[in-house]
Amino acid sequence: MKNVTDEANDLVHKTVDTSNKIVKSVSGEGGLVGKTADASSNVIKKVSDTGNDAINKTVDTTSKATKGIKQKLFSRKKKDE
């Protein structure tokens, strides 16, 4: 799951960068449109990074919880036998 979200995040970043380059090539690097495109790109990347981090933390927490539950279940079985 983490690899998929990392790849999706990377795709978002590359898509935003490509779009930003296209906008700047049409409107010019230093103009208001170019600066607005930069700001928008940064916002989109930050949102994507935040979502990616949240998913990765959820996956980590879920993995730890699952491991803990497995250990408790299997250790109880051994004690009962």
- With 0-12 / 13-18 / 19 or more C-beta atoms within 10 angstroms meaning exposed / middle / buried, residue 37 is buried
Mean per-residue pLDDT, 5-30: 90
25: alpha, beta or left? (left if phi > 0; alpha if psi -120 to 50): alpha
- Of 58, 45, 46, the C-alpha closest to 1 is 58
Q: Dump pLDDT digits (tens) for 25-79.
A: 888 777 888 889 999 999 999 999 999 999 988 988 888 888 888 777 777 655 5
Question: Model pTM greater than 0.85?
Answer: no
User: In this predicted structure, what is the pLDDT of residue 9?
Assistant: 92
Give the contacts of 17 (CB within 8 A, at least 6 positions apart). 41
